[in-house]
Amino acid sequence: MRNDPLSHGLWEMTAPPAPPVSALKGDVRADAAIIGCGYTGLSTALNLAEAGAKAVALEAVEIGFGGAGRNVGLVNAGMWLAPDEIVKRLGRHYGERLLELLGNGPSEVEALIAKHGVDCEFVRNGTLHCAVGRPGLAKIEERAAQWGARGAPVQVLSREETARRIGVDIYAGSLLDLRAGTIQPLSYARGLARAALAAGAAIHTQSPVRSAERAGAGWRLKTDEGAVTADWVVVATDAYAAGGLWPQGKREQIRVPYFNFATRPLAPEIAASILPGREGCWDTRLVMNSFRFDRAGRLLFGSIGALRLAGLEVHRAWAARALKKTFPQIGPVKFEAQWYGQMGMTGDALPRFHRLEPNVVTFCGYNGRGIGTGTVFGRLLADHVLGKLSEKDLPLPVTAPDAPALPALREAYYEAGAQVAHALDAWF
């Protein structure tokens, strides 16, 4: 997108084309205007349209331009925080509701894919949260106990079983979560867009919202060449808000860069020796690492960091070293694609629900768990707009946007720190 091979990398190379849409021109009327065409915005538009409401989605660039088209493609259940900690921070009323909804997030993604025939390489064989050393093992054991108490299909695997599933003995154990899986994230976003259009929603790309003014009980949003008058506005830009109108989702998060490198498709006999069950993996390191396969047999390897300036060469060299040391059977490492994006992290690692203005609502702050979360939250936003869910029935309380201290400095720290760590660290 925008002729930048480092923005969407492999996903843009392998995704089906986006559905044909165009910029908004002229004046239109809608029940709801949605700003942003990632998972949340597209899920909202789809659910509204299926309920018979007139939904118009406005995207400043292209479908899936933000985190929806750049992420690792792990469809995780729940959030970063352990379940008991979520309940502690939100209270039982909201905490358990959020855990149930997001714990079932991968199932909701799978159901949408099946219903609408979305071709997005979805594989639901579980994920492995891999423990680095004894501290990492204690962490995943506690998480497993808390999810297990809630009936989730999770289990701690021994070092030996983890080595068998990964193909190398480098972790103290792992947490297998059978609710989760992997996906081609941009293909999924484009599939949601096709489904929303088929249901009757309107989607307009290259249509940044330039201004908003009250129009009776609703709003009038102006783009470069058109305007939408709507009863409701759903802001679904999260960490990729461009600024200007309602950028609270971006302002209250620290944006942490995350990159991926993809090898060329591996020979079948080599690919069979690595992750034979095709789980998606991530680990407990502070500078987290992840790895998984795509459908064509490419091995994807990622970590925290930005592929810009000196970081591009530092992180590429680290990824090549780490892959060679971890999976020596691959031989000389040759990357076919490389890309990076931003994860928006809130101060307490929890998402937010805001009523930004009368009839202007948003969920934001997904903390690196956007696929299932965005899909579920989009449905909830649609139900809220339709009057099916009151604010008290949502999984998060209404809160006022806040702002982290020194965000630019902290973001620079994470980017530079990851670069230093990868320049010095040879994986294990």
**Mind listing the pLDDT tens digit for each residue in 411-425?**
999 999 999 999 997
Nearest Cα to 377, choosing from 154, 92, 89, 68?
68
**CB within 8 Å of 39: residues ≥ 6 apart:** 68, 188, 189, 192, 370, 371, 373, 374, 375, 378
Task: Write out the DSSP string of 200-265.
Answer: T-EEESS----EEEEETTEEEEE-SSEEEEEEEEEE--GGG--SSSS-HHHHTSEEEEEEEEEEPP
Q: Which of 178, 203, 221 is the last residue of a domain?
A: 178
Beta bridge partners of 33: 56, 233
Same domain, 62 and 94: yes
Beta bridge partners of 150: none
What are 218-259's pLDDT values in tens digits? Answer: 999 999 999 999 999 999 999 888 766 887 666 889 999 999
Same domain, 22 and 167: no
What are 79-134's pLDDT values in tens digits? Answer: 999 999 999 999 999 999 999 999 999 999 999 999 999 999 999 999 999 999 99
Distance CA 266, CA 20 (A): 34
Q: Which of 157, 178, 199 is the last residue of a domain?
A: 178
Residue 311's φ and ψ, nearest 5 degrees, are -60, -30
Residue appearing with tokens 């002729």: 3
Same domain, 183 and 152: no
Same domain, 265 and 280: yes
Residue 29's domain is classified under what CATH number?
A: 3.50.50.60
Same domain, 119 and 137: no
What pLDDT sits at residue 247? 72
Residue 418 three-state SS: helix
What is the percentage of the chain residues whose pLDDT exceeds 90? 93
What pLDDT sits at residue 47? 98
- Whether the pLDDT of residue 427 is over 60: the answer is no
Same domain, 206 and 349: yes
Confidence of residue 404 (pLDDT cuts 50, 70, 90): confident
Same domain, 201 and 226: yes
- Whether the pLDDT of residue 24 is over 90: the answer is yes
Same domain, 242 and 390: yes
| Contacts of the segment 94-103: beta carbons below 8 A, 24+ positions apart | 94/395, 94/396, 94/397, 97/395, 98/395, 98/396, 99/150, 101/376, 101/380, 101/395, 102/77, 102/78, 102/369, 102/372, 102/373, 102/376, 102/395, 103/77, 103/78, 103/147, 103/150, 103/152, 103/179
- Whether the pLDDT of residue 211 is over 60: the answer is yes
- Whether the pLDDT of residue 337 is over 60: the answer is yes
- Whether the pLDDT of residue 28 is over 70: the answer is yes
Beta strand 202-204 pairing with 299-304 = unpaired
Question: What is the number of domains present in the chain?
Answer: 2
* Entry pTM: 0.97
Beta bridge partners of 304: 258
Same domain, 215 and 244: yes
What are 278-298's pLDDT values in tens digits? Answer: 999 999 999 999 999 999 999
Same domain, 391 and 340: yes
Supply the mean pLDDT for the chain: 95
Distance CA 19, CA 118 (A): 12
Distance CA 407, CA 229 (A): 34
Cβ distance 411 to 239 under 8 Å?
no
| Contacts of the segment 137-143: beta carbons below 8 A, 24+ positions apart | 137/172, 137/173, 139/284, 140/173, 140/174, 140/175, 140/284, 141/173, 142/82, 143/82, 143/83, 143/175
What are 192-202's pLDDT values in tens digits? Answer: 999 999 999 99
Q: How many CB atoms lie within 10 A of CB 409?
A: 9
Distance CA 291, CA 236 (A): 28
Helix H segments across 260-369? Answer: 268-271, 310-326
Identity of residue 21: V
Same domain, 98 and 81: yes
Q: Based on the number of CB atoms within 10 Å of its own CB, is 241 exposed (0-12), middle (13-18) or buried (19 or more)?
A: buried
Same domain, 403 and 260: yes
Confidence of residue 428 (pLDDT cuts 50, 70, 90): very low
**Which residue range(s) make up the domain with 156?**
127-178
